[in-house]
Chains A and B, each alone.
Chain A
Amino acid sequence: MHLLQGDKVTVNFGGLVAVSEVDFYTDTGEILGLIGPNGAGKTTLFNLISAAIKPRSGSITFKGKNITGMKPYQVCRMGMSRTFQTVKVFGNMSVLDNVRLASLFGNPQKPSESEATREASELLEFIGLSKDAYLSASELTLANQKRLEMARALAAKPELLLLDELMAGLNQTEVSDAMEDIRQVRDRGVTIIMIEHVMKAIMSICDRIIVLNYGKKIAEGTPEEIVKSKTVIEVYLGE
């Protein structure tokens, strides 16, 4: 049984078919990359997986349970959390409270207030934001806000973590740091699906890649297979 499995998932916005009959799966412990041109339906697929929107047809199962029609907070408490393409930190709350909140409400083990504070502090330590714990989240740099989103998502103790363009807008050093963070998260036993445009990152850390174009899956395979695929080069990677 796969950790996450989607069967012929389809959704449309009015006349536009954003995701069309896409099959996908991910297994425990892997890092799955999701790439494709702008408007290919990558974020929509994330919204479907995290239950923010309902598919028109098809089904998604997580840990063997059908999650179509569930609410995001329920899916989160089942062990799936995510970050957002445009950062959505709670700007007027402290960095620590951002993470503490996720621990208090998202972690299915329902930690006490003091346990949540301890776990949040540990996560900030891990992600390198300890010294900023009492700043307002809005005072952080973009790179650090993205880190904070990742810490917040991790506080929900996910088995599956969805990262939506974690590296967009980051400089070279920050990208390397983020790659290192992702590897460490995986080493903690968290399965990861990531949407990314930074090819260097995708190719070096993903175990497997799915390519979307106009809402359809056009290729799937290891990074080596993907860079050699004629279709992928044609629509996305270029010569």
Chain B
Amino acid sequence: MDLKNNFLKKTGFNWGLPLVIFLLIAFLPLYGSSYNVTLFIYFLLYMTLAVAWTIFSGATGYISLATAAFYGLGIYAAALFGESMPFIFVIFIGGAASFVLAFLVGALTLRLKGIFFAMFTFGLVLLMKEVLYWWELTIESVRGYFVVSYSNNAIFYYLLGLLLVTIIVAYAMSKSKYGLALKSIGENEEAADHIGVNVTLVKITTFAISATFMGAAGVIMASKLTYIDPVIAFNPMMSFSPALMATFGGMGNLYGPVIGAVIFTYLQEILTTGTLKSYYMLIFGSILVVTIMYLPRGILGLFQQLWNRFRRVKSAPTSRG
């Protein structure tokens, strides 16, 4: 009995369910409506961004609001190289460019702590938007670019592939010794430094890896936009949304950001298309405040807590007071 339970726990529960869900999603374009494919494009996009954000910010506790900067850089990579190269190369270029930018920015800013780091990373988004805007207007005398379009199904599968890679990398990192080092940095940076962790290098590299996936996601989504300019590419909401989704879902494991992304993407879809259009930002903000104040470990942490309490009551009603 115990053996069977363990077996279920080890194989069925941990891998079976995600696999079934993954297969259901993977074949969606074959049986779903085109509306559903479009909706799932956004599910996949935000899951990727939320998981990528968690790779760095979840473990270290450094709140990065630079997501939109890397995402926007990916969009611009698509606009500049999309016509001359195969799409998959462009995705790599967008990812690599974001990696390099994040590495440089990280080297400059990761000595900042708390709110200062968050502010600087958000400043990066605005800086890139303004600089590109100025560049296009005064140097190139153009406004925006056209981007090569791809079908929704193609975008869907590229995103699905990217999400898969992002999750695998995030999972492998969290299980490796570098995952352990990242966690120790989040707990106590000084102590981590004194027991041999090259704190700066670990932080910067992880920040850059996390940015790579954001850049790649930008490349893929650009082909849905056809026309882009700095205002479209560097949308501040792309910084806030993934951070909120991951925080709301909980960052203890990778289910958290995935669940958070699904809930908020769906919420966004209902609220911005229905009659409640103008309330979206209000609800979005309220949930953010409540999450930060009352759910430090996210919705998943809340469920875990309730589940533990339930199990404890069930299995040992008298042993604990």
On A, residues with C-beta under 8 Å from B are 50, 52, 71-73, 76-77, 81-82, 84, 88-93, 97, 100-102, 104-107, 113, 116, 152-153, 155-156
Contacts and interface: CB of A to CB of B under 8 A. Distances in A.
Interface stretch (B3-11, B139-147, B180-188): B180-188
A88 B190 contact: yes
12 contacts: A73-B193, A73-B194, A73-B199, A88-B188, A89-B191, A90-B183, A90-B187, A93-B180, A93-B183, A104-B180, A104-B181, A116-B177
A77 B195 CA distance: 8
Given A97-B180, A101-B184, A104-B177, A71 B193 contact: yes
A52 B181 CA distance: 19
Contacts of B197: 73, 101, 105-106
Contact of A73 (B180, B188, B198): B198
B183 A102 contact: no
B196 interface: yes
Given A88-B190, A116-B177, 11 more contacts: A50-B194, A71-B198, A73-B193, A76-B194, A88-B191, A92-B183, A101-B177, A101-B192, A101-B197, A104-B177, A104-B181
A90 B194 CA distance: 13
A70 to B, nearest CB: 12
A118 to B, nearest CB: 15
The size class of the interface chain B forms with chain A is: 10 to 19
Contacts of B184: 90, 93, 101
User: Most A CB atoms within 10 A — which of B177, B184, B188, B195?
Assistant: B195
A100 B193 CA distance: 15
Interface in B268-294: none
CB-based closest 4 A-B pairs: A106-B196, A105-B196, A88-B191, A102-B195
A83 B199 CA distance: 18
Given A73-B199, A93-B187, A101 B193 contact: no
Contact of A156 (B177, B180, B195): B195
Nearest to A149: B191
Contacts of A52: 190, 193-194
Nearest to A102: B195
User: Most B CB atoms within 10 A — which of A52, A91, A101?
Assistant: A101
Interface in B193-226: 193-199
A76 B196 contact: yes
A106 B196 CA distance: 4
A71 to B, nearest CB: 7
Contact of A81 (B177, B190, B195): B195
Contact of A101 (B190, B195, B198): B195
Contacts of B177: 101, 104-105, 113, 116
Given A90-B187, A92-B187, A72 B181 contact: no
B196 A84 contact: no
A100 B181 CA distance: 10
B181 A101 contact: yes
Nearest to B201: A73
Contacts of B183: 90, 92-93
Contacts of B199: 73
Contacts of A102: 195-196
Contacts of B187: 90-93
